Amino acid sequence: MTPDELVETIELPDHLRELDYLREYYGNIEWGIRAIFTGYLGWFDGNPTNLFSLPPADEAKQMIALAGGEKAFREAAQKAFEEGDIQWCAQLCDHLLALDRDDKEARLLKADALEVLAEDLITATGRNYYLTTAQELRKIGEN
């Protein structure tokens, strides 16, 4: 199984999940699974497509073209946000930002998405990273 497949499959049993000292305050199960996988098997996730994947900007260019162009892609990201599909919104913004790191609209939408993702995250380190990155995205270009 790949790390993504493992993350979708593995979960703590109820009797362990309910223990206060095993709550995901600092880390979380998903990160632990990925760390164990990487520790034993290295960076390669078992998917041969990932041996020599496209650079992010090249992938973004092709994904945006496939979606009908930048305007349609941007609208899809906004729609995902409005419909509460926040992770998808952030991932779509990543493609826009891979093409242009100075894309203010994409930066601000991703910042909004990260703040929403942080709201319900019990893992303090993850929540802090979401909020810090959102703050940085909002400040780019202000100076």
Residue 9 has pLDDT above 90, yes or no: yes
pLDDT tens digits, residue range 20-31? Answer: 888 888 888 999
Instruction: Please give the CATH number for the structural domain made up of 54-143.
Output: 1.25.40.880
Q: pTM for the whole thing? A: 0.85
Q: Is 1-53 a domain of CATH 1.10.3720.10?
A: no
Contact 112, 81 (CB under 8 A): yes
SS3 for the chain is: CCHHHHHHHCCCCHHHHCCHHHCCCCCCHHHHHHHHHHHHHCCCCCCHHHHHCCCHHHHHHHHHHHCCCHHHHHHHHHHHHHCCCHHHHHHHHHHHHHHCCCCHHHHHHHHHHHHHHHHCCCCHHHHHHHHHHHHHHHHCCCC
Question: What local confidence, expressed as pLDDT, does residue 141 receive?
Answer: 58
Name the residue ranges covered by the structural domains of the chain.
1-53, 54-143
pLDDT digits (tens, 9 = 90+) for 37-83: 999 999 999 889 999 999 999 999 999 999 999 999 999 999 999 99
